[in-house]
């Protein structure tokens, strides 16, 4: 995993000190320091927040050496097509699952309206 070196790299790239990053993540500078030294690892919610803050995808934050990457990990010029396609496939799968869940809920809660909308 590359989390420790990526958080250091992304902080440096943003010119943020531990205190700056801690404020943005609503944690202590000591916690940030522990992440950067590999002594501690945030909970999933923290990983998500860090990925959002730096505008990187979670897989890349954890699994790629971002110091060797150019540009943004998703949607940027120069992104490799396989990575973009894989991300879009995951997003489409999640979207299809959520639509199916919502359709099932609608069939149960308002069957007449579901039929009107063509949800059978």
pLDDT in tens, 88-108: 778 778 888 888 898 999 899
pLDDT tens per residue, range 58-91: 999 999 999 887 544 444 445 566 676 777 778 7
Q: Which domain holds residue 112?
A: 81-116
Q: What are the tens digits of pLDDT across the range 33-62?
A: 999 999 999 999 999 999 999 999 999 999
85 and 31, same structural domain? no
**Residue 23 located in a structural domain:** yes
Q: How far apart, in whole angstroms, are the C-alpha atoms of residue 76 and residue 83? A: 11
Confidence at residue 75, expressed as pLDDT on a 0 to 100 scale: 46
Question: How many domains are contained in the chain?
Answer: 2
Report how far Cα 108 is from the mean position of its chain's Cα atoms: 33
Is residue 111 scored above 50 in pLDDT? yes
In a domain, 75, yes or no: no
What distance, in Å, lies between the first and last C-alpha atoms of the chain? 45
Question: What is the pTM (predicted TM-score) of this model?
Answer: 0.57
- According to the model, what pLDDT value does residue 9 have? 93
Q: Would you place residue 1 in the very low, low, confident or very high pLDDT band (cuts 50, 70, 90)?
A: confident
Same domain as 62, residue 85: no
Task: Tell me, yes or no, whether 10 and 63 share the same domain.
Answer: yes
C-beta of residue 7 within 8 angstroms of C-beta of residue 58: no
> Closest by alpha carbon to 72, among 84, 89, 85, 86?
84
- Cβ pair 49, 25 in contact under 8 A: yes
Tokens of 116: 């009107």
CATH number for position 16:
1.10.260.40
Per-residue confidence (pLDDT) for residue 37, from 0 to 100: 92
| Packing angle of the helix pair 29-37, 18-25 (nearest 10 deg) | 110
In a domain, 74, yes or no: no
Residue 43 lies in a domain: yes
């Amino acid at each position: 995993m590359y989390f420790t070196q990526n958080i250091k790299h992304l902080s440096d790239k943003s010119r943020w000190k531990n205190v700056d990053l801690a404020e943005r993540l609503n944690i202590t500078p000591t916690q940030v320091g522990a992440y950067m030294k590999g002594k501690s690892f945030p909970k999933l919610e923290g990983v998500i927040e860090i990925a959002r803050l730096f505008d990187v995808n979670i897989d890349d934050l954890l699994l790629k050496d971002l110091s060797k990457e150019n540009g943004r990990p998703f949607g940027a010029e120069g992104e490799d097509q396989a990575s973009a396609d894989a991300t879009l496939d995951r997003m489409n799968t999640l979207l299809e699952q959520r639509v199916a869940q919502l359709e099932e809920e609608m069939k149960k809660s308002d069957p007449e309206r579901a039929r009107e909308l063509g949800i059978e």
